[in-house]
Amino acid sequence: MNQKSLSKVQRLKEVLLINLLGEIPTIAFGPRLRKLFYRFIFSRIDKSVYIQNGVEFIGASKIELGSDVHIFKGVRIDVKGEDSRITLEKGVALEKDVTIGALDNTCVQIGEGTFIGPGVCITGPGDITIGKRCLIAAHVGIFANNHNFADPTKYIADQGISRQGIVIGDDCWLGHNVTVLDGVTIGEGSVIGAGAVVNRDIPPYSIAVGVPAKVIKKRGMKELVLNQQNVKE
Which listed residue (70, 139, 147, 176) is catalytic?
147
Q: What is the pLDDT of residue 184?
A: 97
Instruction: Compute the chain's Rg from CA coordinates.
Output: 19
The pLDDT tens digits for 173-197 are 999 999 999 999 999 999 999 999 9
Q: Is the pTM of this model over 0.85?
A: yes
Q: What is the pLDDT of residue 11?
A: 80
- CA triple 102-108-114, angle to 5 deg: 130
Q: How confident is the model at residue 81 (pLDDT cuts 50, 70, 90)?
A: confident
Distances 220 to 91, 165, 190, 205, 207 between C-alpha atoms, Å: 28, 29, 11, 9, 10
% of the chain at pLDDT higher than 70: 92
The pLDDT tens digits for 100-117 are 999 888 999 999 999 999
Known catalytic residue: 70?
A: no
Residue 19: strand, helix, or coil: helix
Q: What is the pLDDT of residue 225?
A: 47
DSSP category for residue 224: B
- Selection from 96, 84, 193, 190 nearest residue 144 by Cα: 84
The pLDDT tens digits for 154-166 are 999 999 888 899 9
Q: What is the pLDDT of residue 1?
A: 52
Q: Are 13 and 40 in contact (CB under 8 A)?
A: yes
d(CA 128, CA 110): 8
Question: What is the pLDDT of the chain when averaged over all its residues?
Answer: 90
CATH superfamily ID and name for 1-216:
Hexapeptide repeat proteins (2.160.10.10)
- Selection from 13, 36, 12 nearest residue 24 by Cα: 36
**Rounded mean pLDDT of 131-135?**
97
